[in-house]
Amino acid sequence: MINDYSSELLDNILLSTVEGIGSRTYQQLLERFGSVAEILNASYRDLSGFEFLKPDTASRLASARKNFDPNVILELCQRDRIDIIPLHDSRYPEPLRTIHDPPPILYVKGKILPQDTFSIAVIGTRRNSAYGCRQADRLTTALCLNGFTIISGLALGIDGIAHRAALKSNTRTLAVLGSGHHRIYPPEHETLAEQIVQSGGAVLSEYPPLHQSAKWTFPQRNRIVSGLALGVLVVESPMRSGAMISARIAGEQGRDIFAVPGSIESTASHGCHQLIRDGAYLVESADDILNVLGPLRQKVFLFNMPQLSNPIHHPNEMSLNQMELTVLQHINMSPTPLNDIVTTSGLEEQQVVAALSVLEKKRIIRQISPVVFVRM
């Protein structure tokens, strides 16, 4: 929990309360002043020369220290067990840190773990059909069985179905709010948020606890949902929807986009069909997602899957049987001869060859000569 009461933390909290200071503005100011303290110490005259800063925002920023005490938020978060994680903190999720406009600060209830880098965002319409409900539940459950953390936005419809499917599967799920923790929207999902935290997952927001949601906060929230994940699965979405905005943002962040096809007679699926036309991967099963995701940006240990005692490098490792896992453990990132694999694995050559065929088909390894293999 909160164990750092330094002036730097208080300054980060204070800056997060200033209206008009979003993630991009924060980055621009930080580039010019070097630290959050220097930003808050700047005078109106210092700030008014920047074209990216509106006059009223510059005025609020220059007077922030006089107008608000960040200890109020610090004490509120401490009382309600809301952790505060600034961008520079080692606990800040690395995938989110790498997007071009990461939140300067995260307010987190629950725990974000390193294994959450192995995650998929599941999103869709708030007005889902029975078909959308079935597919969201089926695909999310399958992804959970393959070790993924499920990320979504705690909204009505597909978001809520995805979170509940993860809870039902005893799998980690992270919910990203478009409001502060004390202003959860929709209010119907307050209990769901509590269940996510109690299950070991997390509910997070870039806004202080008492911040109200607004029309603009949800598109902002969506960049966090996709930024945390390896890819984004859109289950059901009309052409004009927040899910389509999220998919666009995900593409800009370099995330893989997956879409579930539906009936051509259903407007709820027209957005997914457009995404597929635009290059999103058509999804009928979790295998369609596993087959697309390439080598992970960093190795991940999955503590909820003891059969994978070693860190995984590629999502397709989740679908391997024990013999294939054994063979894989004896293939290096540098070229590995077939004879070495047979010797060190203790398996028969015929078993090794069969396993190598599967590993190559799943794009986990590459054959660089008839008898030499290397991990992807």
- pLDDT the model gives residue 159: 97
Per DSSP, the three-state class of 165 is: helix
* Alpha carbons 280 and 243: distance in angstroms, whole number: 13
- pLDDT the model gives residue 2: 44
Architecture of domain 1-79: Orthogonal Bundle (1.10)
Architecture of domain 110-290: 3-Layer(aba) Sandwich (3.40)
Mode of pairing for the β-strands spanning 281-282 and 372-375: unpaired
Tokens of 130: 């029975």
Domain range summary for the chain, segments of one domain joined by + = 1-79, 110-290, 320-375
* Alpha carbons 258 and 276: distance in angstroms, whole number: 8
- pLDDT the model gives residue 299: 62
Contacts 24+ apart (CB under 8 A), 316-325: 316/290, 316/291, 316/362, 316/363, 316/364, 317/364, 318/146, 318/147, 318/290, 319/146, 319/287, 319/290, 319/362, 320/358, 320/359, 320/362, 320/364, 323/347, 323/351, 323/355, 324/355, 324/358, 324/359
* Alpha carbons 226 and 174: distance in angstroms, whole number: 12
Per DSSP, the three-state class of 304 is: coil
* 176-30-121 Cα angle (round to 5): 20
pTM: 0.82
Which residue from 122, 120, 121, 129 is spatially nearest to 269, judged by alpha carbons? Answer: 129
- pLDDT the model gives residue 301: 60
Per 3-state DSSP, the chain is made up of helix, strand and coil in percentages (nearest 5) of 45, 15, 40
Which residue from 131, 329, 304, 119 is spatially nearest to 226, judged by alpha carbons? Answer: 119
User: Residue 144 contacts by C-beta under 8 Å, 6 or more apart in sequence?
Assistant: 150, 165, 166, 169, 171
Tokens of 58: 């510059």
Tokens of 227: 């930024």
- pLDDT the model gives residue 291: 82
State the amino acid at position 14 in one-letter form: L
Tokens of 321: 């049987």
- pLDDT the model gives residue 136: 97
- pLDDT the model gives residue 155: 95
Provide DSSP, 9-67. Answer: HHHHHHHHHSTT--HHHHHHHHHHHSSHHHHHH--HHHHTT-TTS-HHHHHHHHTHHHH
The fold of 320-375 is Arc Repressor Mutant, subunit A (1.10.10)
DSSP 200: T
Per residue of the chain (376 residues), what is the pLDDT tens digit? Answer: 444 458 889 999 999 889 888 888 999 999 999 999 999 999 999 998 888 899 999 999 999 999 999 999 999 999 999 999 999 899 999 999 999 999 999 999 999 998 898 899 999 999 999 999 999 999 999 999 888 999 999 999 999 999 999 999 999 999 999 999 999 999 999 999 999 999 999 999 999 999 999 888 998 999 999 999 999 999 999 998 889 999 999 999 999 999 999 999 999 999 999 999 999 999 999 989 988 886 666 666 655 555 555 667 777 777 788 899 889 989 988 899 999 999 999 999 999 999 999 898 888 888 998 889 998 7
- pLDDT the model gives residue 305: 55
- pLDDT the model gives residue 21: 87
